[in-house]
Amino acid sequence: MTIHCWKNFRAAIVVAFAATVGFAGGFCDTQNFSLDVVPRVEAASPEVTDERADAAYWTERNPDGERVLFSADEIAAFNAAMREKTETLKDLANEPVTADVRYGVATRRGNLRTEPVPPDGSHYDEMQATAVDPCEPLLVYEDSDDGRFSHVVMRNYEGWLAKREFALTDRATWMQFAAPKDFAVVTADRWWLHDEVMNQDALYQMGAKIPIVKSMLLVPSRAKGGALIVHEQPAVFDDDLHHGFLPCTANTFVRQGFRFLGDVYGWGGLDDSVDCSAFTSDVYRTMGIEIPRDADVQGEVLPYRIRLHGRAAARLALLRMAFPVGTLMTNDTHVMMYIGCDTDGTPMALQAMSSYIDDDGKHYLRRVVLTTLDYPNAKGKPYIDGVKYLSAIERTYIF
């Protein structure tokens, strides 16, 4: 369902303020906010580093934060609906394939490229599409002219992957990774699995799925000839590895988002980290919600969205009153995740931030940070003025 702009925007906001909607948008106290107050534009770095930069600050103040919002069946329906809206999301196990398809599984963290060339070593490599975690199932098509790369299709992207970063197998074995009946989910920002057979470590990022058979992890590795080797390893669950998906709750969005706090900004997954849209998609994926990889597409396919118009104060009021924790705030190039309002009623977000602008020009911050929404954008206006969509899987109030 898509909600576009509505008439009499100010009247709608006033109605929202008059309504009693509990902890709308998370933890907001509507008495602390006036539509007529223009948000201040803060100078210098927008990063917030005080007591609010801790997940407990937010979870302890939300009495409804552990309520499960959606069942597994409801999330599966969300995923199917989003796949209908964008070709970037694939249900690989049921994806139509051509006769020349091969079946691959990533065996180590790799770089998916828009062209069959290796990374150039820079932080902002234009050929970098996204990172690929071990255990990712791949549909493999043509090889590059030099034989070093293959064109692959994965669950949320397609591009060129170096052959050394995946292995080929038969469809039956591949299906154990493409549609596992049981699985573990990485819940740490980054997690290393020691392969006991190959005596090597593999890096997994938040949201990665590892198949389980009879309480044993299926660990993939690549033989010298490029074939897949799968061996079993005991599954040990803790705060970093969860049996199945995490429950979809407001506090899960908060806790998982804060696990990335301070991590380096990784364009397209470079530097073994996340950019803005990888950050949000990884958080969502821990609960089984498969959103697109790119920021602009994320803003377009979630079940409930609204295109923003009007003054910054009205935009912030709408966010607080009508959208929950976990809401994505997107434009054509960036996405942030709303986590609620602080004690003073200030809406805040977590984001993987590359840079910010102040009177002295552009500064590269390059890490995952907590911010308000009124720091200056490139035009010197509150950042919320440049947000295009509010997008969520639910809303707390419907106009």
Can you give the residue ranges of every domain in the chain? Answer: 2-72+248-392, 101-243
Return d(Cα 207, Cα 183) in angstroms, integer. 11
Task: Answer yes or no: CATH 2.30.30.40 is held by domain 101-243.
Answer: yes
Pairing label, strands 304-307, 2-3: parallel
289 against 376, higher pLDDT: 289
pLDDT level of residue 396 (50, 70, 90 thresholds): low
- Segment 99-113 mean pLDDT: 97
34 — phi, psi (to 5°)?
Answer: -120, 135
The helix/strand/coil state of 371 is strand
Pick the CATH number of 2-72+248-392 from 1.10.10.10, 3.10.150.10, 3.90.1720.10, 3.40.50.300: 3.90.1720.10
Residue 145 C-beta-side C-alpha neighbours within 13 Å: 2
| Per-residue model confidence as pLDDT tens digits over 305-351 | 999 989 999 999 999 988 999 999 999 999 999 999 999 999 999 99
Cβ proximity of 365 and 355 under 8 Å: yes
Which of 31-45, 198-212, 247-261, 354-368 comes out lowest in average pLDDT?
31-45
- Segment 283-303 mean pLDDT: 95
pLDDT score of 4:
32
pLDDT score of 72:
96
Q: Report angle CA 98, 102, 103 to the nearest 5 degrees.
A: 120
Q: What percent of the chain has pLDDT over 70?
A: 88
- Segment 26-38 mean pLDDT: 36
pTM of the model: 0.89
pLDDT at 82 over 70: yes
| 99 Cβ neighbours under 8 A, 6+ residues apart | none
Cβ proximity of 265 and 83 under 8 Å: no
Residue 155 C-beta-side C-alpha neighbours within 13 Å: 26
DSSP state of 268: G
pLDDT at 240 over 80: yes
pLDDT at 36 over 60: no
